[in-house]
Each structure stands twice: as structure tokens, then as C-alpha cells.
Amino acid sequence: MDLTARDVMDTRFYTLRPEDTVADAVRSIQEASRETGQTVFGMMVTDAAGKLLGMLSIYDILLLLRPKHIHIWGEMEDLEVSGVLEAACRRAKRMLVGDIMTTQVVTITPETHLLLIIDIMIKRHIRRLPVLENGKSVGMVYFSRVFNHLRELLSS
């Protein structure tokens, strides 16, 4: 049994636009998680023609929340800063996806062998890989789904 990306990819994937705000993106992530029944940690960013421009992950959003100068005021334990998290969220919500997305995205094709996918995921610390066919996004391979496909082989 030679599994490839085509066998394990999720063809029901969700995309963002670079002009979406972070608030739009978070709503899309919540919606996708609800519809798929799995927590979605990142989404593809595409243009109107479906061309992949980048990826936005929860990590990218958390980076935005981290205060720039926390290395200074984080030392000030005597300082009362309740409400600072809400303020950080208010600022982050307005940012555009295109300004914080990751553009150096590793992609695979539907014919990429599952062992090669595992190799890429391990070496590059990647948990999701967009699948492109003729330059267009056709699916997404998730780390957890790869394991789900191998579960039977590994346990029998």
C-alpha cells in the first residue's frame, strides 16, 4: 500500500485573504474547527484566483499579542497591569493577515509519498502541508491525519 498526499489530504479546507483582518481570520478558524470537528491551527492565504500566497497560523497571531517591551516591564512585578491582555487583543484584531502571514511555505503535490511527507514534517517542524496541483491549492495534509492513516498499520 503506497499512500500519497492524495490519500491523506483533507480536500475540505478553508482559506483566508491577505486583506482579511486578524479578527476575520480568528472567526474563520473557529468556523472551520466547528465544521470539521477538529481544532484548526492554521489556514492557507490565497488570492482571488486561488493562488497560494502564504499561511497564517495561531503562532503568527500569538506573536502579535506578545508585547514588544515585555522584557523590560515583565521584570516589574510591582506593577499592576490587569486589562493588558484585552488591550493587546484589541490592537491585534485590526492587523491584516497579509502583514503577518508566513510566505515561505513548503508545499507538496497530490503524488508526494507519505514517507516523504513524514520526513518533511519532522525535519521542518511542520504540522500542516498545503497540497498544490498546477499551482492551485487542492487540499491540506495534517500531521494528525497522517498518523490516523497509519494507526491501523502500526497497531495490527
Partner 1 sequence: MPIIAYQNVLQGLTVQEAMRRQVVHLPQDAPLEQAVRFCIKYKVNALLITGERQEGLGVVSKTDLMGAYYAGLPISSFCNAVMVGPPLFCRAEETLDAALDTMRRHRVHRLYVRGEAPGRVVGVLAYPDIVGLLYRYCLNCQKSIRRKSGSEPLPDRFQVREVMTPEIYGRREDDSLQQVMEGLAAYRFGAVLIRDGEGAPLGVVSKTDLILAYKHEVPATAPAREVMTAPVQAVDAGGALVDALKTMIFADVHRVFVYQESPRNLVGTLSLSDVARFRSGTCRACLISRIKIEGGP
Binding of residue 88 to partner 1 (CB under 8 A): yes
User: Which of residues 79, 134, 152, 155 is near partner 1 by CB under 8 A?
Assistant: 79
Provide the minimum distance between the beta carbon of 64 and partner 1 in the complex, in angstroms, as a whole number. Answer: 7
Q: How far apart are CA 155 and CA 110, in angstroms?
A: 26
| Residue among 1, 37, 68, 134 that touches partner 1 (CB under 8 A) | 68
Among 49, 69, 125, 151, binds partner 1 (CB under 8 A): 69
d(CA 69, CA 16): 30
Taking residues 38 to 67 in sequence order and writing x for each that binds partner 1 by CB under 8 A, - otherwise, the string is ----------------------x--xx-xx
* CB 2 to partner 1: min, Å: 36
Distance CA 54, CA 68 (A): 24
List b or e across 89-123, with b for residues whose CB sees 16 or more CB atoms inside 10 angstroms.
eeebeebebbebbeeebebbebebebeebeebbee
| Per-residue contact string for residues 113-142; x = within reach of partner 1 by CB under 8 A | ------------------------------
In the block, residue with C-alpha cell 512585578: 77
As measured in angstroms, the least distance from the Cβ of 79 to partner 1 is: 7
In DSSP notation, 60-117 reads HHHHHHS-TTHHHHTT-TT---TTHHHHHHHHHHTSBHHHH-B-----B-TT-BHHHH
Only one of the segments 3-11, 22-30, 38-46, 72-80 lies at the binding site for partner 1 (rule: CB under 8 A); that segment is 72-80
Of 126, 33, 53, the residue nearest 96 (C-alpha): 53
Where does this chain touch partner 1 (CB under 8 A) — which range of 23-31, 70-78, 122-130, 142-150? 70-78
